[in-house]
Amino acid sequence: MKTALIKYNAGNVRSVMISLEKLGAKVILTDKPEEILSADKVIFPGVGHAESAMNYLKDKQLDKVILSVKSPFLGICLGMQLLCKFSEEGNTDCLGIFDVIVRKFPPATLEKVPHMGWNKLTPVNSGRENILLKSMPQDEFFYFVHGYYAEQNPYSTADCRYILPFSAMLQKDNFFAAQFHPEKSGKAGEMLLTNFLSL
**21 noted as active-site residue:** no
* β-sheet bridge partners, residue 118: 143
Residue tagged active-site, from 89, 151, 181, 190: 181
**84 noted as active-site residue:** no
Residue tagged active-site, from 115, 160, 183, 190: 183
**From CA 79, how far away is CA 196, in angstroms rounded?**
15
Taking each helix axis as running N to C, give the angle between helix 13-22 and helix 186-197, from 0 to 180 degrees, rounded to the nearest 10: 80
Residue tagged active-site, from 77, 84, 94, 160: 77
Distances in whole angstroms, Cα of residue 135 to Cα of each of 10, 17, 191, 194:
31, 24, 8, 11
Amino acid letter for position 125:
N
Helices (H) and strands (E) in the chain, counts: 6, 14
| Cβ partners under 8 Å of residue 184, min gap 6 | 15, 143
Exposure string (b/e) for 90-113, b if CB count within 10 Å is 16 or more?
eebebbebbebebbebeeeeeeee
Give the largest Cα separation in the chain, rounded: 48
**183 noted as active-site residue:** yes
Which among 39, 34, 33 has a CA at the least distance from the CA of 20?
39
- Which residues are marked as active site? 77, 181, 183
